[in-house]
Amino acid sequence: MANTGEAGWANVKSQGYSDKFTDLSTGSFKIYKAHSPQILKTATSADSPVMSMSEVVSKYPNSLIMNASGFNMSTGKVTGFQINNGKLFKDWNSDKRAKNAFVFNKDGSVKVYDSSTPASKILKNGAETSFSFGSILIKDGKSLPSDGTVNWEIHSFLGNDKNNNIYLIISDTSTGYQAIMSELQSLHLENVIVMDGGGSSQMSLNGQMIYASQDNRSVNDYIVLK
């Protein structure tokens, strides 16, 4: 599908009780937990334009926002497995990179997939929105072996815990794989996937910059929570 329409909100169902947003940042990590948020994906087609954080904030001022899926810097087009509004606009194997995806389902649950699961099955399972880029670090509560892609660079991560709280995380320069995994494990996360990093990594809350892009980079996919 060329275009999935205007970006819409999807509901996430978390268990228990908590504040909407909780700041768990520590040391070289920016960590925000979201309880039963509504989520929105800004990219709606393979041709979605790049946007600055300030542009996204102007559209969604009272929100928690982080960069998400990667993009090809030479073409400006989003990479990976992409669903918005329950419609597929970019399938597996359309890129050499981005072989994994973090998927929000219509029933408020989440699941991580790799390219061994066909799009037809993921959609049949109720997929509403997906974000896709790097490695799966934790799946179903189990840490997966390192593939060497998580290193000293800045990284963004998207995850959830057993109560289906959603986590947006950025690790600063030179944090390194071991420290990153130690922190993720201490949060008792069920699933964690690597989003775009380096100069793409950026986060804001209610219009205030939490972590600024190192090179003021515009990207074409953000995750927005409210």
Task: For residue 45, give both structure tokens.
Answer: 């087609």
Q: 158 - beta bridge partners?
A: 168, 193
Q: What is the dihedral of CA 35, 65, 50, 107, to 10 degrees?
A: 10
pLDDT digits (tens, 9 = 90+) for 32-91: 999 999 999 999 999 999 999 999 999 999 999 999 999 988 888 899 999 999 999 999
Instruction: Out of 10-24, 41-55, 92-106, 206-220, pick the least confident.
Output: 92-106
Full strand arrangement of the beta sheet holding 142-143: 21-23, 29-34, 166-171, 155-161, 189-195, 136-139, 142-143
- Averaged confidence pLDDT in the chain: 96
Give me the sign of the Cα torsion angle 90, 146, 214, 7: positive
Contacts of 178 (CB under 8 A, 6+ apart): none
Pairing of strands 203-205, 64-67: antiparallel
Interatomic CA distance for residues 150 and 178, integer angstroms? 9
pLDDT digits (tens, 9 = 90+) for 150-196: 999 999 999 999 999 999 999 999 999 999 999 999 999 999 999 99
Containing 78, the helix (H) or strand (E) segment is: strand 77-78
CB atoms within 10 A of CB 166: 23
pLDDT digits (tens, 9 = 90+) for 74-119: 888 899 999 999 999 999 987 777 899 999 999 999 999 999 999 9
Q: 199 - beta bridge partners?
A: none
CB atoms within 10 A of CB 140: 10
Task: For residue 44, give both structure tokens.
Answer: 């709606």
Q: What is the pLDDT of residue 195?
A: 98
Give me the sign of the Cα torsion angle 97, 42, 130, 192: positive
Task: For residue 194, give both structure tokens.
Answer: 């690597």
Q: Say if residue 199's pLDDT is above 90.
A: yes
Predicted structure pTM score: 0.97
- 164 contacts 16 by C-beta, under 8 angstroms: no
Q: What is the pLDDT of residue 151?
A: 94
- 61 contacts 216 by C-beta, under 8 angstroms: no
Residue 55, SS3 per DSSP: helix
Interatomic CA distance for residues 77 and 221, integer angstroms? 10
